[in-house]
Chain A
Amino acid sequence: MRTIPISMEQGFAYGLVALGIVISFRILAFPDLTVDGSFALGGAVVARLISLGVPPIYGIMLAVICGFVAGCCTGLLNTRLKINSLLAGILMMTILYSVNLRIMGRSNIQLLTVNTILTPLENMEINRFIPIIAFFFVVVFSVKFLTDMFFHTQIGFAMRATGDNEQMIRTLGVNTDNMTVLGLGISNAFVALSGSLVAQDQGFSDIGMGIGMIVAGLAAIIIGETLIGKASVQRMTLAAIVGSVIYKFIIAIGLRLGLAPTDLKLATGVMVILALGFPALKKGKEGKLHLRGV
């Protein structure tokens, strides 16, 4: 009975991760693995600050900034130091593990007994799901519309072209290195925002909460694109959110049917392998991911 509201709540909350991955993997064609680290980073920053008595909204803002910086670092490793894009992400993800432990001071912080951004909503005299789902809905769709708008500005065009045809947009005078750094910053800012909200929603921040986030996000994007397509930026961002909800729904159903929670990542991984690998098995079909520098 509660499967649908739970998958909506989580789907919207994790939809921000999928939106971030749309920017890195889809728009910039950059296989950014920072995500696992920057998700936990968002949770770590917000949890530590809230437990220190900082108002949650400032905690969230700082989490977003930290995510932005982490993404920029990956971009700089790749563009300035010429480190392979996959390796740059893995390096940042690994570094962030230590950074997150430093930020939290231990491996997890509970937030059940303190006031979070969600506390006023949870204290309302109605079914908890209604205000919580509404909150995440508003957040994720606001981010979606801002993203759509951004990618129709002059800089947004330049960023899309950086992922699409780097040589061409460089001859038009765009520094594609800067576009890559900025894009990864924005992408990881979204991911950290998601991490900071998820930590408050689940009532704790944990050092391991980001593990498998990229694969889950990719699964969400692939599901969404199958239904909605990716012909325009608006469709890609909508697909990410819808896909995220459906992904969480599938997972919830799987759990109800007896899938062990420990096998979740295995199941998600297989899902992504099937989705990415299926076109390759049918000869002459192009793969679903086009990536630069891999």
Chain B
Amino acid sequence: MIKVKGARKIFKKGTIDEKVAIDGVDLHIPEGDFVTVIGSNGAGKTTLLNLISGTVQPDEGEIYLDNRRVTNLPEHKRALYLGRIFQNPLMGTAASMTIEENLSMADLRGRTRGLRWGVTKSRRDFYREKLKMLQLGLEDRLKESVTLLSGGQRQSLTLLMATLSLPKLLLLDEHTAALDPKTAQRVMELTDKIVMENNLTTIMVTHNMRQAIRYGNCMIMLHEGKIMFQAEGNAKKALTVEEVVKRFGADLKDESLLCEPTSIDSPL
């Protein structure tokens, strides 16, 4: 489904601030896999997603989506394949537009847009059905502006938008990190449900080690632009936070990452 071959990305090349963000990453994700990516700040997690989505182009290496080489394809031309959710709930929706208008834009992901009405009656009924699944009462607020929604509501709407037209690959970039713990858990459970129901190929970047271990069928640990550790299938299921911390804690040197596992017994 997605292949990254020998990808390297260097920012500010040739200057004193040169930073190798991705240093030779090889990755193969088969269709239907749910991969979680963990790593400390600056490990290259977001850059990896940016390379896949086309927000930045690699200096070396190739990227294939569905056996098609997309290495230098601009972002808007990859849209047909990708759904993406960012950490900031404000980034996934157009605030000045209504809920149904936002959904209709997502509905047309990667397709040619014309002078037909943006929202039609039959699609509106479809959006209403989809919104019911979120259980946030948004199905009765189709014509309300998105500005009026809370962060959690906006991120749930973004999740629905990203998955509405069933992308071949769903990219989640710490999408629950900016939410309060309770909302974060709700959004995460909803994500898992949508991913499982639709068998979506997913890459989820997270800071939260518990989340990375609990969800998905494959976990990748990035460190200084390289894949440091990868666990799949049963090996992944058997992982515990303590074990990961014991093995890699010394290298990760990231307080935020190491803090979280200390409260293993508290709810997510």
Contact = CB atoms under 8 A, between A and B. Distances in A.
A158 interface: yes
Interface residues of A, number: 23
B94 A173 contact: no
A171 B79 contact: yes
Given A154-B108, A157-B105, A161-B105, A171 B82 contact: yes
B118 A154 contact: yes
Given A153-B118, A158-B113, A171 B96 contact: no
B93 to A, nearest CB: 7
A234 to B, nearest CB: 13
B79 A157 contact: no
Interface string A135-166: 00000000000000010111111101100110
B118 A156 contact: yes
B214 interface: no
B53 to A, nearest CB: 7
Contacts of A173: 76-77, 79-80, 108-111
Contact of B93 (A153, A157, A165): A165
Majority DSSP secondary structure for residues of A touching B: helix
Nearest to A290: B96
Give the interface size bracket for B toward A.
20 to 34
Contacts of B115: 150, 153-155
B121 interface: no
Residue of B82, B90, B101, B105 with most partner-chain A CB within 10 A: B105
B206 interface: no
A160 B101 CA distance: 10
A166 to B, nearest CB: 10
A227 interface: no
Nearest to B82: A171
Interface in B79-113: 79-80, 82-84, 90-97, 101, 104-106, 108-111, 113
Contacts of A154: 104, 108, 113-118
A172 B94 CA distance: 12
Given A152-B118, A155-B113, A157-B104, A169 B94 contact: yes
Contacts of A266: none
B75 interface: yes
Nearest to A151: B118
Interface of B: 53, 75-77, 79-80, 82-84, 90-97, 101, 104-106, 108-111, 113-119, 145
Identify the 8 closest CB pairs spanning chains A and B, nearest first. Answer: A173-B79, A173-B110, A154-B113, A164-B94, A157-B118, A161-B94, A165-B94, A153-B115
